[in-house]
């Protein structure tokens, strides 16, 4: 695998080696020893999967405090724009975001450490999105920042009227009202 450090420290794009032939393809999607050597020690405890249609925007989500989650995300069908927003107050990139297109074709993965809000927008007719987390889901610790917060300024490549949001995501707080990490 090729590990590419993004412009925000701790956030990685991971490109697997894909072996194609007439039967299809084979790839290793995760190899703990290699991951730890390149990214660091993360103990994943749960795998999640979602299916969404074009224009669905999920996020910007995070869990507060001790319930924060690191995520290793990828798309197994379709195409999404995936975004990580730095909520670490002590970071020189606090409040900045990094985005990457993940698709069934490029097979890229995106590692987002603890201390980040995360979201994605479906760009294809349908997308199946899967991810590993290093901490369980705790509803009381969940928080959401508005996807269109002007302070963050994410450039979502779909018209606002085409977006499909959950009520929770439509009512996210502003970046300035969010809970940050030390």
Residue positions annotated with a catalytic role: 61, 131
| 32 burial type by CB count under 10 A (0-12 exposed, 13-18 middle, 19+ buried) | exposed
> In 3-state terms, what secondary structure has residue 148?
coil
List phi, psi (to 5°) of 159. Answer: -60, 140
CB burial string 116-139: b at 16+ within 10 A, e below: bbbbbbbbeeebbbbbbbbbeeee
Query: Within 10 A of 115 (CB to CB), how many other CB atoms are there?
Result: 22
Measured CA to CA, the distance from residue 176 to residue 161 in angstroms comes to 25
Instruction: Let me know: does 121 contact 99? Beta carbons within 8 Å.
Output: no
- Token reading at 101: 């297109």
């Amino acid at each position: 695998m090729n590990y590419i450090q993004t412009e925000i420290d701790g956030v990685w794009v991971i490109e697997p080696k894909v072996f194609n032939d007439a039967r299809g393809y084979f790839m290793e999607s995760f190899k703990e020893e290699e991951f730890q050597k390149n990214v660091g020690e993360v103990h994943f405890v749960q795998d999640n999967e979602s299916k969404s249609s074009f224009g669905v925007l999920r996020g910007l989500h995070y869990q507060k405090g001790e319930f924060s989650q690191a995520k290793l995300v990828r798309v197994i069908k379709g195409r999404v724009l995936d975004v990580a927003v730095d909520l670490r107050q002590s970071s020189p990139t606090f409040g900045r975001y990094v985005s990457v297109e993940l698709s069934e074709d490029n097979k890229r993965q995106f590692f987002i450490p603890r201390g980040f809000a995360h979201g994605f927008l479906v760009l294809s007719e349908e997308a199946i999105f899967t991810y590993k987390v290093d901490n369980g889901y705790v509803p009381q610790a969940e928080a959401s920042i508005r996807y269109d917060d002007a302070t963050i300024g994410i450039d979502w490549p779909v018209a606002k009227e085409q977006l499909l949001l959950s009520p929770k995501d439509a009512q996210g707080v502003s970046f300035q009202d969010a809970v940050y990490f030390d």
